[in-house]
Chain A
Amino acid sequence: MQAWLDSLIAGSELLQQVPAGLIYTIGILGACTLVLLFASLLAGEVVWLERRVAGRMQARIGPNRVGPQGLLQFLADGLKLLGKEDIIPATADKAVFLMAPVIVFMGAFAAYCVMPFGYGLVPADMNLGLFLILSITSIEVVGVIMAGWASNSKWSILGAMREVAQMVSYEIPLGIAALSVAILAGTLNLTDITLQQGGGIWNWYVFRGPFGFIGFFAFFIAALASLKRAPFDLPEAESELVAGFHTEYTGFRFAIFFLAEYAGMILFAMLTSVLFLGGWYTGIPGIELDGAGSRWIGFGVLFAKTSFLLFVMIWVRWSLPRFRIDRVMYLCYKVLLPISVLCVVGAAAQVWLGITLAGGTLAAPGEGGFADWLAGGRP
């Protein structure tokens, strides 16, 4: 982003008159708006996708009236929600109540800024990209507990309790499973992680050894749970807790919660694609999609992978009953956590031993690793 702006400034005399800081600020704001618009539109469309797929799975049709095939349904729904009365319960803690949706929304959307959508198509190419995503999405928990507490409703507080327990727990296997990729890649920069997966399909981290493969499933399941998607949708289990932490929210505040949930879904589907499924690469050697024009095709490829994962999420949601809270915790601490730790240890051993699999290159093979150690160097 900065490099692009620098080249823009260098190429234009007019821009050289303007202070560079201002251009950067405007550039960043512009990029943020773009990403926000993109993510919101996408979230709206995923809502449509979910409803259509659910309809098909449930022997009914789903929304098909607004726009072609009902594609604009989310706009109509948004308008409807905008027109609704904005109710703040009399006993609610008003300031916290109003702030909660904003924080949840922020947590879900801010993470998009480090997402490599295509070759060079990344709003902020950060060295700590993966770390930023994992930390910024965990802000959502704060918003949820604020919503649950401020609503002053028993359903809300029970939902928030479940949500916090579940999300905080599942962030551990989620982070650790992501760490196994970071170890294999030797970087937390999402662009670099993707670049290492170029070439054949065997270079994708999901196929690079057993630990990437197991890690992929651990990461995806943990992501499902931390997104509170069914069958882990206990925080908003409608047959138990009415609507969980957003029981008392109406109108557009509710819409924001709703949008944030779907934005989170897309984010994690995209992150899984980037970490494990080769990001924008097609998996066919020779088609690299890193040219000025073809990077947009790369974006399309990433989008296709994301859509597939989203479809899996929807598919799972509409076929399984809900877990009980103790089973959810069991799955987290006794199943996913050991598996993801195994992945990290295995990935570390793989790197240390310098095992390259399927012709791919591992980060710094041998450097300070097993080969060096054998040669008498310090491990």
Chain B
Amino acid sequence: MSDAGHTPGGGDVAERDVYTGAGEPAPSPSSVHERQELVGRDLRTEELVLNIGPQHPATHGVLRVVIKTDGEFVRELEPHVGNLHRCAEKIGESVPYYQWLPYVDRMDYLAAMCNEHVAAMAIEKLGGVEVPERAEYCRVIIAEVQRILSHLMAIGVYGLDLGAFTPFLHQFRERERGMDLLDHISGGRLLYHYIQIGGVKRDFSREWLDELDAWLASVERRLPEYNTLLLNNRVFQQRTAHIGLINEETAKRWGVTGPGLRAAGVDWDLRRDVPYSVYDRFEFEVPCGESGIAGELGDCFNRHWIRVREVEESLKIIRQALAQMPEGPTMAKMPKSFKAPKGEIYVRGENPRGELGVYIVSDGKPTAYRIRCRGPSFSNIAVITEVARGTMIADLVALIGSQDIVLGEVDR
């Protein structure tokens, strides 16, 4: 957005803010009289520094954004992170690998299963653990269920950010049933510790698979409903199309991944391009940004739209995985005390929010020497520093919402 075209009251901001008393010394408004004279000659305006968060309904947790505004326009912006730092990486250096996995859940608490999947893969690769084939299928199915849940949440909350309360509560209906599914298989509603080193905690039961089928059908049926409320809604399109543009170059420079990167037109999905687990056995499309219904490449609308289409693709993956699933054990034979040999490993996987990378250095002890995670939310929130400049406050909310960040992962 260009500044000149959108400045309220007309006129260039730079011109208005800079005192241009040609030849005169800069005024020091010491007395009331002088100040009044100054106001009479040239009305000076000040930027308003607005501190959004850490407690604010639009910041999805405890993000703090300090913005300088000129009326409704954002001139400068700085996200402050670190309010939800829980030492997930550091704890990994003092507890055994087995015990570290539950902490991974808590990083991106809306995609706990996906986190576990990537972290478990990293540890297994480091320790040379062979995972049974059925367990891999279980992992993929459960991670895709988690992806649908996470995207449903993102879709609904995005409506809430834009002032539409109804889709938010509607998606919770499906999300609630999906969380019950994960609850029945793992015993937890939000944080599961279901995927473990060497496999998964327990096999799917017949009843659970029926439950899953019913749920998949209901998600498929309800998704068009959400689209009528948001995606195809004119007001929604006005609020999101051409807003918060993150083009390909910017996205790559800031390390944006996931739906944000694909919305910019980059056809990149680790599940297809660097397949891990058994993802190479399924046929699915990677939705990419396009200027179809509304908007253009890399805008908020496209990021939302990609999430909607990714839910559909996840449904496909789950159905294929259910059909292909082999019989067999779901847990490898694991020693009582697991020690990884000396070495280091970096494993990455496609989380709902982008690429999660787990880097582990082992010195042969039961605990890791150093653990470092690359959370997608961190890069996804960092990019708003550049993109949000010159937008309106309402657009900033739309932008932060479309990035779908989880603060637990930003700070780790």
Enumerate chain A interface residues (CB-CB to B < 8 A). Answer: 54, 57-60, 154, 158, 161-162, 230-231, 233-234, 237-242, 318-327
Q: What is the CA–CA distance of A242 and B162 in the complex, to the nearest angstrom?
A: 13
Choose one: A154, A162, A323; the contact of B48 (CB below 8 Å). Answer: A154
Q: 18 A-B Cβ contacts within 8 A? A: A58-B170, A59-B170, A154-B51, A233-B163, A239-B58, A239-B163, A240-B58, A240-B394, A241-B393, A320-B163, A320-B235, A321-B162, A321-B163, A323-B239, A324-B238, A324-B392, A326-B6, A327-B238
A18 vs B192: C-alpha distance in the bound complex, in angstroms? Answer: 81
Note all chain B residues with C-beta closer than 8 A to A238: 57
Chain B 41-77 interface 0/1 with A at a Cβ cutoff of 8 Å (1 = within): 0000000101100001110000000000001100000
Cβ–Cβ < 8 Å partners of B161 in chain A: 239
Q: Which of A59, A323, A324 has the most CB of B within 10 A?
A: A324
Taking CB atoms, residues of chain A closer than 8 Å to B251 are none
Decide: A319 near B164, CB < 8 A? Known: A239-B397, A240-B394. yes
User: Are A242 and B56 in touch, CB under 8 angstroms?
Assistant: yes
- In the complex, the answer to whether B393 meets A240 with C-beta atoms within 8 Å is yes
Q: Which residues on the B side are within 8 Å of A237 (C-beta)? A: 163, 394
Residue B165 at the chain A interface, CB threshold 8 Å: yes
Known: A154-B50, A230-B163, A240-B58. A58 touches B169 (CB 8 A): yes
Alpha-carbon distance between A231 and B229 when the two chains are bound, in angstroms: 13
A231 touches B235 (CB 8 A): yes
CB contacts under 8 Å to A, within B346-405, are 392-395, 397, 401
Inter-subunit contact A324/B169 (CB<8 Å): no
Residues of B at under 8 Å CB distance from A?
6, 48, 50-51, 56-58, 71-72, 159-166, 169-170, 173, 229-230, 233, 235-236, 238-239, 392-395, 397, 401
Who on chain A is nearest to B238 by CB? Answer: A327
- CB contacts (< 8 Å) of B393 on chain A: these are 158, 240-241
Q: Which residue of A is nearest B50, CB measured?
A: A154
* Interface contact B164-A320, CB-CB below 8 Å: yes
Min distance, Cβ B299 to any Cβ of chain A, angstroms: 14
Which residues of A have CB within 8 Å of B165? Answer: 54, 58, 318
Give the residue name and chain of the A residue nearest to B159 (CB). A321
Closest chain A residue to B392 by CB distance? A324
Set of chain A residues within 8 Å of B394, measured between Cβ atoms: 234, 237, 240, 322, 324-325
Residues of B within 8 A of A239 (CB): 57-58, 160-163, 397, 401
How far is A324 from B300 in the complex, measured between Cα atoms in Å?
A: 15
A237 vs B58: C-alpha distance when bound (angstroms): 10
In the complex, which residue of chain B has the Cβ closest to the Cβ of A157?
Answer: B48
The docked-state distance in angstroms from the alpha carbon of A234 to that of B57 is 15
Contact across chains for B163 and A325 when beta carbons are under 8 A apart = no
B164 near A60: Cβ-Cβ < 8 Å: no
The answer on a CB contact under 8 Å between B233 and A320 is yes
Q: Give chain B residues whose Cβ lies under 8 Å from the Cβ of A162.
A: 72
Min distance, Cβ B244 to any Cβ of chain A, angstroms: 12
Of A54, A59, A233, A322, which one neighbours B239 at CB under 8 angstroms? A322
Contacts of B239 in A (CB 8 A): 321-324
- Closest-by-CB residue of B relative to A322 is B163
B160:A58 contact, CB within 8 angstroms? no
Contact check, B162 vs A322: say whether CB atoms are below 8 A apart.
Answer: yes
Quote the shortest CB–CB distance from B67 to chain A (angstroms). Answer: 11
Q: How far is the CB of B386 from chain A (nearest CB, A)?
A: 21
Q: B48: which A residues are within 8 A, CB to CB?
A: 154, 158
When A and B form their complex, which 9 residue pairs have the shortest distance between CB atoms, in order from nearest?
A: A322-B163, A321-B164, A321-B162, A58-B169, A239-B58, A324-B394, A239-B161, A321-B163, A321-B235
Find chain A residues with CB under 8 A from B233 CB: 320-321
B164 cross-chain contacts in A, Cβ below 8 A: 319-322
Chain B hits for A57, CB < 8 A: 166
Do A326 and B392 touch (CB < 8 A)? Answer: yes
Bound complex: CA of A321 vs CA of B165, how far in Å?
A: 8
Please tell me which one of the listed residues A59, A234, A319, A323 contacts residue B238 in the complex, with CB atoms under 8 A apart: A323
Q: State A154–B46 Cα separation when bound (angstroms).
A: 13
- Across the interface, name the chain B residue whose C-beta is closest to A233: B163
CA distance in complex: A324, B56 (Å): 19
Tell me the minimal C-beta distance from B172 to chain A in angstroms. 8
In the docked arrangement, what's the CA distance between A230 and B48, Å?
A: 26
Interchain CA distance A57-B166 in the complex, whole Å? 7
